[in-house]
A and B are shown apart, each in its own frame.
Chain A
Amino acid sequence: MSETAVSVILSKKKQFDREPDRRSADFHDKLFQLEAEGELVVQRISGDYVEVPTKYGIAKKIQKANLWHHKSCGQCGHIPGYSTSIFWIMRKLGYGYHDPEDQTSCTAWNYYASATSNQAAQAAVALRNFAAAYETGYFPLIHCGTSYGHYKEVRSELLHDGALREQVRKVLAKLGKEMVIPEEIVHYSEWLYAVREEIRSRMVYDFSNIAVTVHPACHYYKLVEGDAIFDPDVYHGQRTAAVSGLVQSMGADLRSYSTFFDCCGFGFRHILVQRDFTRSFSTLRKIEVMKAEADPDVVLTHDTGCVTALDKSQFAARAHERNVGIPVLSEAQFAALAMGAHPFKVCQLHWHSTNYRPLLEKMGIDWREAWKEFEVDAKRLERGEQEFLTWADVDA
């Protein structure tokens, strides 16, 4: 074929090669400078790690083992299968971890909702958690997208504001804690992305017929976007590769839709006190659009509020005969299911609202049988034969 303008254009668009990017002022420079000046301690990545590509082309290190799980209050409180799946995958892949009790919420949900906090308080909360992780030697892994985004903002404020550092240092001194900032702030979905081939190799189901849409979480990649994962092999590096990269590696049927950039409608205060906004936005701008354009079997996302807003908003919309009805999971639950996790004992799907049973059927998972197994365990606990279900029970 002779070369035409169109053929030249199309061949040029095949591959985006990122040139070194001027805006990529790397926060590490300032971080390590302050470390050298003795202003703060940097908790370094240790052991085995994976380098992942980011928005502005700087590689980010993701430590694979010995992680300190900075849990999410919304996940633990209302979507416990979310957190449990993250732990379960880590156990399955054989990576040691620490699930701390001296961790608090980042308190950013409240902060974004109500503003009943301030810069210094937020920074002190973040650094108290970082110091707690540092003391154990385990490296922090942040489960919540909002905590992750917020901590990156805090990091930037602390690095550039000496007065704030002083104020926070004084508070930390009262607690007997050092000022510690980890070398990287890492979201669990980045860890899943980093180990996606290991996950793929342990899949016990074929998900190639499972149609998936992804809702990228705003606080994951819009707040301090520079060190969010963008991979040239996932949407040509034009959208974040977190979640989508894993889905692609797992061989599921990844489908796009036109409002992928829109937020889920969570709104922080809105989900609690002004839910008409959340419901409308979630269903009209997200779920219905996905349904009409991609008809997915499941929506996957990687933040607490997004799972909640997208899942819980569909019930009322169905009553109004809207075109809704897509189950919503975190990609951690999705990956765990693929690796053979129990849908109720591990993924805790009975805490979800939108009907997930047709999805399980399509995956080849017998949910009736699984629920029976769950109830057998429940009876055992009710009879007092056992107080808690343990990892040994779910791995059996």
Chain B
Amino acid sequence: MPAATLDPYRKRDSVAGHGEFPLEVKQRLIGMVMEDPRFPEYLYGCYECGICVAACPSARFYDFSPRRIAQAASRRDVELMFQQMQEDIWECSQCFSCLRCPRGNNPGGIITVMREVAVKEGLHSAREALAGYSRIIYKIMSTGTQVSPDMLQPDAFPDWGPEVKDVSENLDLWRRMLPPETLHTTTTGWKVADRTLVELYVIWLETGALDMIAQVDRGIHMILEELMEERLEEEGIEV
């Protein structure tokens, strides 16, 4: 068991609400973050000037600080970075206001890389943060558009006002009343050619993007894999 830390900010794994991980696992995961080709461009050094925090929306809402992300990474503090990977990284709103860093750091970018590793490795935090998100992943990976008109359901967006209900009730008609010919769709944002979807599937399969979601949602992964392989087989494309 790792020794209790003297750092008041750092919590023990059990306190942080996730299971105990051996140090080697943490080192391996943080190693993946640091070896990412983008990492050297995302982190130079940190002055602790606080510019990133002042510009950060999430810092105003959560106990979140892009400066702590940059600092932990600068210090190569495996324990602290691992803790952040279990918690903080999902609070970032990815607006990239922190890019104003005078050192040229990109805390939001560091977080992107940390999230990718968390997803790839199926960390508890990733699964928790993405609970309820599977439908979106399915949509984007299978249809090539993220937001579809038929997502506008009053029960999904009860806080968005009564217009959501109007839209969902009139969806088919109102979509047909859009003058651009590509927008008469209800299940995708616009009409995406079939061949284009096949090309997208090739990208997901060739780059390992599909594999990434196996850890987060095995069910969705299986459905997608089946769908994609079947379509590629029909097209006679091998990957």
Contacts and interface: CB of A to CB of B under 8 A. Distances in A.
B96 A351 contact: no
A272 B97 CA distance: 21
B61 A101 contact: no
Given A77-B152, A78-B147, A174-B206, 5 more contacts: A71-B189, A80-B149, A80-B178, A268-B94, A382-B173
B161 interface: yes
- Closest 4 interchain pairs by CB? A115-B115, A104-B144, A315-B161, A267-B93
Contacts of A218: 95-97
B237 interface: yes
Contacts of B131: 273
Interface of B: 36-38, 41, 55, 57-58, 60-62, 90, 93-97, 99-100, 112, 115-116, 118-119, 126, 129-133, 136-137, 140, 144-149, 151-152, 157, 159-161, 163-164, 166-167, 173-184, 188-193, 195-197, 199-200, 202-204, 206-209, 212-213, 216, 237, 239
A125 B203 contact: yes
A353 B178 contact: no
Contacts of A120: 207-208
B204 A109 contact: no
Given A114-B136, A116-B212, A118-B207, A105 B144 contact: yes
Contact of B61 (A77, A103, A277): A277
A118 B199 contact: no
A265 interface: yes
A157 B196 CA distance: 24
B180 A87 contact: yes
Interface string A364-378: 000000000010011
Contacts of B55: 261
Interface string A141-183: 0000000010000000100110110010011001101000000
Contact of B212 (A118, A225, A262): A118
Residue among B116, B183, B237 with most chain A CB within 10 A? B183
A223 B98 CA distance: 10
15 contacts: A73-B147, A76-B190, A78-B149, A83-B180, A83-B183, A101-B191, A101-B193, A104-B145, A107-B146, A109-B147, A267-B93, A348-B178, A350-B174, A378-B177, A388-B176
Nearest to A271: B93
Nearest to B203: A124
A244 B179 CA distance: 28
Contacts of B57: 262-263, 265, 267, 281, 285
Interface string A215-256: 000110011010000000000000000000000000000000
Interface of A: 71-78, 80, 83-84, 87-88, 99-105, 107, 109-121, 124-125, 128, 132, 149, 157, 160-161, 163-164, 167, 170-171, 174-175, 177, 218-219, 222-223, 225, 261-263, 265-270, 272-273, 275, 277, 279-281, 285, 312, 315-316, 345-346, 348, 350-354, 374, 377-378, 381-382, 387-391, 393-394
A110 B118 contact: no
A118 B116 contact: yes
Given A77-B151, A101-B193, A222-B97, A345 B177 contact: yes
B176 A381 contact: yes
A357 to B, nearest CB: 12
